[in-house]
Amino acid sequence: MTALLSDPAGIQSPATARPARTARRRRPKVGRTLLLLLFAAYFFVPLYAAVDFTLGGSRRNMGHTLSVWTGLVHQDGFTTNLMTSLKIAAGTVALLLVLMVPTMAWLHLRLPHMRRFVEGVCLLPMAIPAVVIANGILGAFKSWPQAITGSSWILILEYVILALPFTYRSLDAGLSAIPLTTLVEAARSLGASWPTTLWRVVVPNIRTSIASAGILGAALALGEFTIANLLLLNTFPIWTDQAGQQDGEVATTASMLILFLSWLLLMLVSHLGRGRRARKSAKSDPKSDKPDKTDNLGSAQ
């Protein structure tokens, strides 16, 4: 029996080779698990330290308290600057999507050979320093009315440019994942105009990508500091920096609040995307091998 399991020439029998293969399969799982734990520690340990600092557990030795969190709304300038940043974020997302969704759809339909060039242009804000962008926009808009150059509108225009890389990537992935040409030609053959086709066929099929682009743009507008500081405009990050010079707990608590708000919005988008895919799967007949071709065009008819 031993001779059957072990070959004197060094060739392993199937019975001995199976545990070796199993061990080799387990090694990558162990490596992935360690890598995952390392990344989790990299992200969550600083978050835990920041939250613990805002709760006072690391300094007072008196237990944790929510007094800093509950008293945040009573700080001078907190509500005003937070509302300003929320308005800037809403304006940035609205202008960004109004400009980019039709442009990206037209690019995929009529100018696919220009996608690389447009992608390079959209990625430029990641390579150009924020100081250069701020000075360039101030020079370009110096002849415009003070109501634009001295207000939040100038920040909205700058944040739209800064959010172009994330918006392009998100919308490009969404449009590449659907049969865009077939859907648009089918809608147009049914008599739908281009705006109707865009609103009732293209947008519903890439709503998850649109939501992702909007959330990333809003997160950028809520957390941007350098350009707002150069333009001497008061936003929530500027208020957080000024508050941090007087009270570190208040500044850290405000930063955590914006971080958790952005995180909550991202989780909401992810949940909505999974819910939409689940509803589409439930509508399709599991016994039928044919895909439901009327699902994408139903809203255009």
HEC assignment per residue over 217-235:
HHHHHHHCCHHHHHCCCCC
Tens of pLDDT, residue by residue over 39-65, are: 889 988 988 888 888 887 656 566 777
Which residues are CB-neighbours of 254 under 8 A, at least 6 positions away?
72, 78, 236, 239, 240, 243
Separation CA 10–CA 150 (nearest Å): 81
Mean pLDDT for the chain?
A: 78
Longest dimension (CA), the chain: 94
Q: Please give the chain's pLDDT, 301 residues, in tens.
A: 444 444 444 455 555 555 555 555 556 678 888 889 998 899 889 888 888 888 876 565 667 777 778 877 788 888 888 888 889 989 999 999 999 999 999 999 888 888 889 888 888 888 888 788 878 877 777 777 777 777 888 889 888 988 999 899 899 998 998 898 899 888 888 888 888 988 888 888 888 888 888 888 888 888 888 888 888 788 888 888 888 777 778 888 888 888 888 788 777 776 766 666 666 666 665 554 444 444 444 444 4
Name the residue ranges covered by the structural domains of the chain. Answer: 144-231+260-276
| Tokens standing for residue 235 | 């936003």
Q: Helices 180-189 and 78-110 meet at what angle, rounded to 10? A: 80
* CA–CA gap between residue 148 and residue 154 (Å, rounded): 6
How high is the pLDDT of residue 94?
Answer: 92
Closest CA to 109 of 13, 162, 188, 39: 188
**SS3 assignment for 144-189:** CCHHHHCCHHHHHHHHHHHCHHHHHHHHHHHHHCCCHHHHHHHHHH
C-beta separation of 235 from 220 below 8 A: no
pLDDT digits (tens, 9 = 90+) for 133-148: 878 877 777 777 777 7
DSSP of 9-23, one letter per residue? TSPBPHHHHHHHHHH
Looking at the whole model, is its pTM more than 0.85? no
76 in Cβ contact with 144 (< 8 Å): no
Taking residue 27's Cβ as centre, other Cβ atoms within 10 Å add up to: 9
Distances (CA, A) of 141 to 137, 148, 153: 6, 9, 11
CA atoms of 37 and 28, how far apart (whole Å):
14
